[in-house]
Amino acid sequence: MQLDSRFAARLAARDLEAARSAGLGADELALLAAADPAALTADREGRRRAQFLRNVAGEFALSLAAAARPELAEEFPASAELHAAVAADGSLPLAFALFLAARTKTAPPLVRALLALEGALARLRREVRPAVALEPGQVALAPWVELLAVPAGTLAAAGALRAALDRGAPTPIGVGVAEAATERLLLRRAPEPPPFGLPAVEVEELAPALAELLARAARPLGREPRPAGAQAVEVAPAELEEVVAGLVAERVLVAG
Amino acid sequence: MAFDPLAPFAARAAALPRLGLGISSEFGAAEHGLDPLALRRAHPRLAQFLEVGVDLERGIDATARAWCAAGWPTTHHFLDANLEERESLSDAWLAAVRAQARELGAAWLCGDAGLWHLGPRDRGHGVLAPPILCADSAREMAENVWRMREATGFEVLPENPPAHLYLGELHLCDYFAQVAAAADCGLLLDVAHLAIYQRASRCAPLDGLDGYPLERVIEIHVAGASEFEHAGRRFVDDDHGPTPLADTWAILAHVLPRAPRLRALVFECERNAAHEVLPGFRRLERAWADAARAA
C-alpha cells in the first residue's frame, strides 16, 4: 500500500476485488480502510520508495541501463507482477524480472538478451532444480547449473556494459547482439550456498560441442547413449568419457 | 551471577551487565560516517559499548570485529527478523544468530519488533514495518521473544519500531506492556521512535507512558530526527541525524529516573561526523548522571 498509492486508494474505498487480490479478510480490509491516508503515504523525499526500487532492481542493472528508460522501474510498485508476488510470498526480484520481460517485448534485442541473462542468474541464485535419482554410470546436469541460449554477443555486451557502469560512464554504449546466431552459456553457483543471503554466480560461454553434450545431460545420460553423443559432438568415445569425468570433477555434472 | 534464560525476569535482569553509554553501528557504516573505534579511543566514557546492527546475509563488518578484538563490550541488534511472525524465526536462523552473538561477545540481543522483511528473507524484501497494535499480535510476539530467548540463551529486548502509520487499537506503549508481561522480558525503549509515534498518532510526547513498564527497561535508544511536511501534516523522519527533537529529550527526561534496571543508553548517530555528535553524547551522559542522583 505504501508503494502503490492507487492500490491504497482502492483499499481505502473498500474495493473488495483489491482486497481479494491481496488475500485480505473483512477485518483486515476495515483496518486498512481506516488508516490515515496522509500517514500511509508519508515518505520523506521518496527515500523509502527509492531504496525499495534500488534493492529490488539491483540484479537487473544491465537490462535497465540498456533499456535507457529510467521510468521503467518506477512502474513496478503498481504492477500486477508485484502484487502477485506479495500475495503469494514470492520473490520480488523474480517478479521484477517478469515485469521487465512483459514491458520490454518490443525493446531492442540487446535489452531482451540482457534481461534473459540477468533473469536466469536471479533465478539460479534463488531456485535449485530438484536432484534426479541416477543409476550407476549415469550422469546429469548438476542442480546448481543452468544452460542458457542467448543471441550471440550477449556475454561480451554484458561485460562491456558492466565495465561502463562501474566506471560511471554514460550508457547505453555502442554494443549490440546478433539475433541470427546463438551463444550458449553455462551459469553456475556454489553447490552448497550460504544458508542466508544470495550465492555468487558465474557465467561462461560454452564451446558448441560442450554445450551440446551438456544439453543432452539435462536428462540422465547413461553410458550406452554416450557413443552416439560423442559422434554428435565430434569427439572419440574414449575422449568423451574423459570430458565427462572432468565435468563431474568440476561438479558441472553429477554422477550416479 | 550467571545469566539463566530460564530464570524469572528479575533474576535475569540482575545478571545483565551495566554497559553505560554506547554507540550504534551497521554494516559498513564507519566507511562513510562515525568511526566507533576512533570515538572510543578519544572519548572512552562516551562510547563504552558498541551496539552492532547485524543481519545474517552481510554478517559482522571489520569495524565490529576490531571492536570485539579490543575486548570492548557489545550488544547484538538484529536487522532481519520479524519478531511478530513465528515462521521468520526458523531453527536455522536462531542457531545462526546465537553463534553470531557469541562471536560478538554480546551482552544481549535486541531489535525493532515488527517486520524486517516482507515475505521471504530476500533482497528487495527489506522493510521496517511496525506490528499490528492488537492483543493477538502482542501475544504472538511474546511467544517469539520467549522462544528466541530460550533458543539463543540471551536476553531478548524487543524495541518499539519507527513508522508514520500504525494499525491497531492499542497505544504503542500498551502493546509493548502486553508483550513484556506475556514474555516476562526486558525492553528496549527507543525514545526517538516513541516521539515519532506520538507525533504520527496525534498524541502528546508522554501519552501512554503511565501504562508502560519502565521497570523492565534495560536499554534506551536516543537519535536525531528531522521533521517534514506531507499532505498538510508534520511527520518525523528517523534519519539518525545528530540532533534529537525536543520531544525526544522530554521523553528521555521522564523515563531516565523511572527506569531502575537501565543498563545501557545508546546514541544512534552512526552516519555523522564525530564533532557533530559529541554535544549529544555529553548531554546524554549528564542526563543519566542527573537521573541517577535524583533516583
- The ipTM estimated for the assembled molecules is 0.87
- Asked whether the predicted pLDDT for residue A69 surpasses 90, the reply is no
Q: Smallest CA–CA separation between A152 and chain B, in Å?
A: 30
Query: Percent of chain B at pLDDT above 90?
Result: 94
Q: A28, A92, A124: which to substitute to probe chain B, counting the most B Cβ within 10 Å?
A: A92
Indicate the pLDDT class of residue B113, thresholds 50, 70 and 90.
very high
Contact across the interface for B119 and A42, Cβ inside 8 Å: no
Provide the grid cell at A70. 529510467
Tell me what the mean pLDDT of segment A204-210 comes to: 93
DSSP for B125-180 reads -EEEEPPP-SHHHHHHHHHHHHHHHHHHSS-EEEEPPP-S---SSS-HHHHHHHHH
Indicate the pLDDT class of residue A226, thresholds 50, 70 and 90.
low
Nearest to A197 among B56, B230, B239 (CB): B56
pTM of the model: 0.91
Indicate the pLDDT class of residue A194, thresholds 50, 70 and 90.
confident
Tell me what the mean pLDDT of segment B3-31 comes to: 95
- Asked whether the predicted pLDDT for residue B81 surpasses 90, the reply is yes
Length of chain B: 295
Burial class (CB in 10 A: 0-12, 13-18, 19+), B279: exposed
Q: How far apart are CA A149 and CA B240, in angstroms?
A: 48
Instruction: Name the B residues in 163-202 with CB < 8 Å from any A CB.
Output: 164-165, 167-168, 200
- Asked whether the predicted pLDDT for residue A136 surpasses 80, the reply is yes
Indicate the pLDDT class of residue B245, thresholds 50, 70 and 90.
very high
Indicate the pLDDT class of residue A128, thresholds 50, 70 and 90.
confident
Tell me what the mean pLDDT of segment B66-73 comes to: 97
Q: Would an 8 Å CB–CB cutoff place B147 in contact with chain A? A: no
Q: Would an 8 Å CB–CB cutoff place B91 in contact with chain A? A: no
Average pLDDT taken over every residue of chain B: 96
Contact across the interface for A44 and B226, Cβ inside 8 Å: yes
Return the pLDDT at A40.
87
- Asked whether the predicted pLDDT for residue B83 surpasses 90, the reply is yes
Q: B73: cis peptide before it, omega within 30°?
A: no
Average pLDDT taken over every residue of chain A: 91
Contact across the interface for B124 and A85, Cβ inside 8 Å: no
> Which parts of chain B fold into alpha helices (H)?
9-14, 36-42, 62-69, 91-104, 135-152, 172-183, 191-200, 246-255, 274-294
Find all residues with CB under 8 Å of B246, minimum gap 6, and list them: none
More confident residue, B162 or B127: B162
Q: Which amino acid is at B65?
A: R
What does DSSP say about strands B217-223 and B226-230: parallel, antiparallel, or unpaired? unpaired
pLDDT tens, residue by residue, B163-218: 999 999 999 999 999 999 999 999 999 999 999 999 999 999 999 999 999 999 99
- Asked whether the predicted pLDDT for residue A232 surpasses 70, the reply is no
Cβ(A90)–Cβ(B119) below 8 Å:
yes
Q: Smallest CA–CA separation between B287 and chain A, in Å?
A: 31
Q: How far apart are CA A124 and CA A114, in angstroms?
A: 15
CATH number, domain B9-294: 3.20.20.150
Contacts of A41 in chain B (CB under 8 A): 230-231
Q: How far apart are CA A192 and CA B116, in angstroms?
A: 26
Q: How far apart are CA B29 and CA B269, in angstroms?
A: 10
